[in-house]
Each structure stands twice: as C-alpha cells, then as structure tokens.
C-alpha cells in the first residue's frame, strides 16, 4: 500500500480530481499567477472550467490579498492550460510541500511546462517598476527544500536533482523573442512576509541577485524534479528597500501588477503559442 500522506501521491490524487472536474484528459502547461497578475487572467484564453482549489485534496486557501484560490482550465491555441489564480506561500505558515502542491498537481495532471510568475522588488534601478524580467536563475535563501523528506516514490527521480538548467534556456529565449523589452535577472527567494532591510538588499546585491521576492524558488525546484520545463517571470512592482529611499507597501505591489498585467499575460500567451 502506498502512503496516502506522501506529497507525490497526494498530488496524483488531486490531479485525478482536477481532471474529472475539467472534462477529463491531460493538460499541457501550468501557469501560476503571482501578486497582482490575476487581473489580466481572462486574456490568456477561453476558460473551459473553473475549480475552487479548496475542493481538491491537499490544497489550502490563500490568505493573501491579490491571490485567489481558483484554478481554471483554459484553452490557449491548441494547448490546455491549468491557470492558478494565486499561490500559497511559506509566510502564510505553509510547509514547502504545501507551497509546491499546486505545481506537483499540475505536473501529475500532464503539464510538461510550468510558467511561474511573481511580483518582485528590483535591486537594479535600471529594472524599474512595471518591467517584466525573465528569471535566469535563483538564490534560494529560504533555507528550505520541497525535496526534504522520504525518497520520492516511483516513477519520480531521486531527491538530489540537478538544478544547473533550472530555468529553461529554451523558454527564456522564447520569452525574449516574444518581448525583446524583457529584462533578465537572478531572483533571490526569501521567506518574508516582512520586506527586507536596506542592509539585506545590499547583501543580496553583493551575492549576485537582481530581484527579490517571497515565492517561486521552491516551486521551480519541485517542477524540475518532476521533469517539467520551467519559465520564471517577475514583474517589478517596486525598487527594493533602500534602492529608491521610498517605503514599501503591498498595495503598491498590487497596483503595479494591475497596470502591467495585460502585457505580461500576452507574453505568456505568445510563449505558449510558440512552444
Ligand atoms: N521584497 C520581497 N518581496 C517582494 C518585494 C520586495 O521588495 N516586492 C514584491 N515582492
């Protein structure tokens, strides 16, 4: 008997439920929308089914303004997309396994491509508010891994997953081709929910980070471990602490997302079209 609490088996159960509620069959692409991104979600394609994630095994509700507990089955060209209108974070009190459960579920539901989006602070004044940035790599400063625990069951690979090519070079090139104005940057993932101090931002800059946020890294690791190709897109919603001298505010983050959302969703739509 397989362990029903195993996070991989839980994702498989959620995927089977999700398939049943979305007309059956596999999906191709998962898209996770970060803070503020959901405002433009309707533009990705025709919604064929909407599921409240609260109805699926292993999912917890998001407690963050700007994140909805909803997943849609969307038709984008000839691809079936699972579109998550929000995510759950470590800072809400979730374990790494819970934070990556939507991504694991999507891959168990057939998705071989995972697009992770987020709102991020920029450490580089040249990447100003409203700029879309393709994540080239990350620095995981959460101190956590979604792969901590028992060895994954068959058919999943060993815990010691190689992350050399975590953010797919192919998908990054595609994104830049679709929108040559996109920047490129290394994303530092911290636990939050507090924003950073100016001294911490100075440290992150020294470490080689261009962006800072509170998500994405663990989901990317989990997706890569299950063999999916990962694209990470950040929307700069503020300059990081001390870079501009302005105080930081979550509502400002959401407003910047709303303003740039339609353009960023169009980038995703075109990337999916070109896959
Ligand atoms: N820091 C951390 N996370 C964030 C920021 C920030 O400045 N902006 C949006 N998410």
Give bridge partners of residue 138 from the DSSP assignment. Answer: 187
Give bridge partners of residue 49 from the DSSP assignment. Answer: 73
- Please, what is the average pLDDT of the chain? 92
**Active site (annotated) includes residue 127:** no
With a cut of 70, say whether residue 3 has pLDDT above it.
no
**Active site (annotated) includes residue 215:** yes
**Among 92, 119, 132, residue to substitute to test ligand 1 (most atoms within 8 Å of Cβ):** 119
Q: What is the pLDDT of residues 88-119, one digit of tens each?
A: 999 999 999 999 999 999 999 999 999 999 99
* Across 56-65, 94-103, 161-170, 239-248, least confident range: 239-248
> Mean of the pLDDT values across residues 23-38?
90
Q: What is the pLDDT of residues 155-205, one digit of tens each?
A: 999 999 999 999 999 999 999 999 999 999 999 999 999 999 999 999 999
Residue among 224, 14, 196, 186 nearest 98 (CA): 14
End-to-end CA distance of the chain: 38
**Active site (annotated) includes residue 187:** no
Residue partners of 83: CB distance under 8 A and separation at least 6: 31, 33, 41, 44, 71, 72, 73, 74
> Mean of the pLDDT values across residues 201-217?
97
pLDDT at site 138: 98
Question: Which CATH homologous superfamily contains domain 7-274?
Answer: Nucleoside phosphorylase domain (3.40.50.1580)
CA of 215 to the centre of ligand 1 (A): 10
Ligand 1 interacting residues, C-beta cut-off 6 A: 119-121, 195-196, 212-214, 237-238, 240, 248, 253
Dihedral sign from CA coordinates of 136, 140, 156, 9: negative
Residue partners of 205: CB distance under 8 A and separation at least 6: 123
**Active site (annotated) includes residue 214:** yes
Query: Which pLDDT band, with edges at 50, 70 and 90, does 1 fall under?
Result: very low
Phi-psi group of 60: left, alpha or beta (phi > 0 → left; psi -120 to 50 → alpha; rest → beta): beta
Counting Cβ atoms within 10 Å, is residue 4 exposed (0-12), middle (13-18) or buried (19+)?
exposed
- Between residues 82 and 249, the one the model is more confident about: 82
pLDDT at site 168: 98
CA of 217 to the centre of ligand 1 (A): 14
**Among 248, 249, 250, 258, residue to substitute to test ligand 1 (most atoms within 8 Å of Cβ):** 248
**Active site (annotated) includes residue 138:** no
pLDDT at site 273: 95
Domain residue extents for the chain: 7-274
């Amino acid at each position: 008997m397989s362990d029903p609490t195993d996070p991989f088996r839980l994702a498989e159960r959620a995927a089977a439920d999700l398939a049943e509620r979305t007309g059956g069959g596999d999906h191709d692409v998962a898209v996770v929308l970060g803070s503020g991104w959901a405002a433009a979600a309707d533009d990705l394609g025709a919604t064929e089914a909407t599921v409240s994630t609260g109805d699926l095994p292993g999912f917890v509700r998001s407690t963050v303004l700007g994140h909805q507990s909803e997943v849609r089955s969307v038709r984008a060209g000839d691809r079936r997309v699972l579109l998550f209108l929000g995510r759950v974070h470590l800072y809400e009190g979730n374990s790494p396994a819970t934070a990556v459960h939507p991504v694991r579920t999507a891959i168990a539901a057939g998705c071989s491509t995972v697009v992770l989006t987020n709102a991020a602070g920029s450490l580089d004044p040249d990447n100003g508010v409203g700029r879309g940035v393709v994540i080239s790599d990350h620095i995981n400063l959460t101190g956590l891994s979604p792969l901590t625990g028992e060895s994954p069951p068959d058919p999943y690979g060993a815990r010691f997953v190689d992350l050399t090519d975590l953010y797919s070079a192919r998908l990054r090139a595609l994104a830049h081709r679709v929108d040559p104005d996109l920047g490129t940057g290394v994303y530092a993932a911290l636990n939050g929910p507090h924003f950073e101090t100016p001294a911490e931002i100075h440290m992150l800059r020294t470490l080689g980070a261009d962006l800072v946020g509170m998500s994405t890294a663990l989901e990317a690791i989990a997706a890569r471990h299950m063999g999916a190709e990962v694209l990470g897109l950040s929307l700069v919603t503020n300059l990081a602490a001390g870079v501009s001298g302005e105080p930081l505010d979550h509502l400002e983050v959401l407003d910047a997302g709303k303003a740039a959302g339609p353009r960023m969703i169009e980038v995703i739509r075109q990337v999916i079209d070109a896959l």
